């Protein structure tokens, strides 16, 4: 999953998303093939949910050999990351460059709360796909560009808010409560409402802020 550069205004006169660490630009035919595979995968998600998402089914739906799908995405986790890429970029753009309170212009504490709440809302529809993406390795979530961008964002806001102590640890602690597995457990097994989850995150933030 690609990441936006963590700065507070978009670059002028260029596409917003030539991102840090992204691979070299694809050939036009390779890009078309990738889009066709992702369109097939998205249709499967819409029709059957994540349970129906398999490399074999994507290949069949896209009328290509399954080896093509593996070469393009590596495995099911890589496919999930690719499916999340567009919405991840939109989410990053909203908290890095969008209007307040999520974007610049609001006090840092207000922006942190808005970020945590927006993350919960986003995971309401995408948590299961995130869970698949994070299965590749134990620290797969933490190695992704999306996580690093979110972590850097929280570290910057916590610093601006005057929080003392180990801010790097505190950023990880807040993000740990937004992991796909945690939110799926809370919503599906404990039947927590999103309002309850957001209220709990607010209490955690209050503790960090000493309020």
In the prediction, which pLDDT does 207 show? 95
DSSP track, 12-41: TTS-S---TTPPPPPPHHHHHHHHHHHHHH
Residue 192 sits in the same domain as residue 131: yes
Residue 41 sits in the same domain as residue 92: no
In a domain, 20, yes or no: no
In a domain, 134, yes or no: yes
In a domain, 17, yes or no: no
Give the position of tokens 């369109």: 39
In the prediction, which pLDDT does 75 show? 92
Residue 109 sits in the same domain as residue 148: yes
Are 76 and 54 contacting, i.e. CB atoms less than 8 angstroms apart? yes
> For residue 32, what are the domain limits?
26-74
Q: Is 104 helix (H, G, I), strand (E, B) or coil?
A: strand
Residue 47 sits in the same domain as residue 132: no
Mean pLDDT by 10 residues, the chain (211 residues): 46 40 58 88 92 93 92 92 91 97 98 98 94 85 92 98 96 97 97 98 95 78
In a domain, 3, yes or no: no
How is residue 103 annotated by DSSP?
A: S
pTM for the structure as a whole? 0.81
Residue 178 sits in the same domain as residue 96: yes
Residue 92 sits in the same domain as residue 142: yes
The CATH number given to whatever domain includes residue 34 is 1.10.10.60
In the prediction, which pLDDT does 25 show? 58
In a domain, 159, yes or no: yes
Q: How many domains does the chain have?
A: 2
In a domain, 2, yes or no: no
Residue 57 sits in the same domain as residue 100: no
The CATH number given to whatever domain includes residue 127 is 1.10.357
Distance CA 161, CA 12 (A): 28
Residue 67 sits in the same domain as residue 97: no
In the prediction, which pLDDT does 1 show? 53
Residue 124 sits in the same domain as residue 180: yes
Residue 198 sits in the same domain as residue 113: yes
């Amino acid at each position: 999953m690609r990441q936006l550069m963590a700065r507070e205004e978009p670059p002028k006169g260029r596409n917003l998303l030539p991102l840090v660490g992204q691979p070299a630009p694809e050939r036009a035919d390779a890009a078309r093939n990738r889009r066709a595979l992702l369109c097939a995968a998205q249709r499967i998600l819409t029709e059957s949910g994540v349970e129906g998402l398999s490399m074999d089914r994507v290949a069949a739906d896209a009328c290509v050999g399954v080896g093509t799908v593996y070469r393009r995405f590596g495995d099911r986790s890589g496919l999930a990351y690719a499916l999340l890429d567009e919405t991840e970029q939109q989410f990053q753009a909203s908290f890095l460059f969008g209007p307040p309170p999520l974007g610049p212009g609001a006090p840092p504490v207000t922006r942190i709360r808005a970020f945590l709440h927006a993350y919960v809302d986003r995971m309401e529809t995408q948590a299961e796909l995130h869970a698949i993406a994070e299965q590749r390795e134990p620290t797969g979530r933490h190695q992704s560009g999306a996580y690093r961008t979110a972590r850097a964002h929280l570290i910057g806001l916590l610093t601006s808010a005057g929080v003392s102590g180990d801010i790097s640890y505190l950023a990880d602690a807040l993000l740990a409560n937004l992991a796909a597995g945690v939110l799926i457990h809370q919503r599906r097994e404990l039947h927590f409402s999103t309002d309850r989850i957001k209220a709990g995150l607010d209490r955690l933030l209050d503790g960090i802020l000493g309020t």
